[in-house]
Amino acid sequence: MREQARRVLVMQSIRASLQEQPSLRAVLACTRHWVADVLRTAVDVAKSKREPRK
């Protein structure tokens, strides 16, 4: 349940950010930034899970 609530909050935040954009082109550019940020975060988390803890 907490994961679903977190997902809803995140998606609402992303939607609000996209709705603030003044044009279609700006919406698509903002979307690319969001996607890049999520992927970068996922890679960082994945790396931290692979590396042995000290």
Q: Can you give the pLDDT at residue 53? A: 62
The predicted model scores a pTM of 0.80
Q: How confident is the model at residue 1 (pLDDT cuts 50, 70, 90)?
A: confident
pLDDT above 90 coverage of the chain, percent: 89
Total domains in the chain come to 1
**CA pair distance 17, 41, nearest whole angstrom:** 19
pLDDT above 70 coverage of the chain, percent: 96
**CA pair distance 12, 42, nearest whole angstrom:** 20
Q: Which domain holds residue 36?
A: 2-50
For the chain, the three-class secondary structure string (H helix, E strand, C coil) is CHHHHHHHHHHHHHHHHHHCCCCHHHHHHHHHHHHHHHHHHHHHHHHHHHCCCC
For the chain, what is the total number of helices (H) and then of strands (E)?
A: 2, 0
